[in-house]
Amino acid sequence: MAAQPANNPVAYLNGLYLPLEEARISPLDRGFLFADGVYEVIPCYNGRPFRLKQHIERLIRSLDAILLPSPHTETEWTDLLNGLVQRNGGGHQSLYVQVTRGAPTLRDHRFPDHGPATVFALSQTLEDPESRLLDAETGIRAMTCADTRWSHCDIKSVALLANVLLRHEARQAGCDEAILIRDGHVTEGATSNIFVVQKGELLTPPLGPHILDGITRDLVIELAQQYEIPVREAPIAETQLAQADEIWISSSTRGARPVVLLDGQPVGDGRPGALWRTMAEHYAAFRQALMQ
């Protein structure tokens, strides 16, 4: 299938592939009115969605959590998303998928009695992963913020206003990410999961209602276990964060990136740490193998 011009991206909406600029959703859609929906973000390298099965499984778990039956099977989701990648010319892309409870005829908090879900997906160009790895060599800046989000952060909900405000607060302070603290312990970042290194051991907060089961988080843990890097899921106190030898963030489109400055103070010696460099090599090799 011929590649689409970069300025004419193709989207998917309720069974149709169409130019993004022609996609239209009703103002009565419950995603618009109530944030009644869930989403996924999936990176693609050389036209191949990265860990697609895991992303689809998480999407279906989020749908189950909000009592919205999945409008597609795993196989149908796979075909739909691969079709979107192909129609946008392959290469490196970032897929956004959103499913809402649809657009009934009236605005009402109650679940609608009938009507299909709204399924929308779009593709955006993703930077070359190797160039982003080089960018990561300089590290990022982060600040701690109180976790003001709701109590079901394990659902990948489209209700992201708290995350948006926290990320904006960090950007206003000259930082790249906000690391969130709840009841004296680290939960996650505004747009990422968190890892810390202490005395050669890699730690990440255990899963629960305040933490999203990150696909990249899982991969980092898998790679650590494969290459015999000590790794453990354990609560991380705010005081531990301040004393960490290394801090990393992880997300699907950024991979694992080192934090070199936290609340204005250097993390370790203020440069990406040795364990992060080791993990970055393993992560890049894993991704490269899938791009062949």
Alpha-carbon gap, residue 48 to 86, rounded angstroms: 9
* DSSP strands (E only) in 214-290: 231-233, 246-251, 255-262, 265-266
HSE-up (13 A, CA, CB side) for residue 178: 22
Active site residue 156: yes
- Helix (H) / strand (E) element for 248: namely strand 246-251
User: If phi over 0 gives left and psi between -120 and 50 gives alpha, with beta otherwise, what is residue 267?
Assistant: beta
Alpha-carbon gap, residue 65 to 229, rounded angstroms: 34
Catalytic residue among 51, 58, 156, 217: 156
Return the amino acid letter for 95: L
- Helix (H) / strand (E) element for 43: namely strand 37-45
DSSP 157: B
Q: In this structure, what token pair is assigned to residue 72? A: 């597609």
- Nearest Cα neighbor of 103 from 115, 89, 91, 92 is 115
Q: In this structure, what token pair is assigned to residue 88? A: 């946008």
Distance of CA 212 to the CA centre of its chain: 9
Residues marked as catalytic? 156
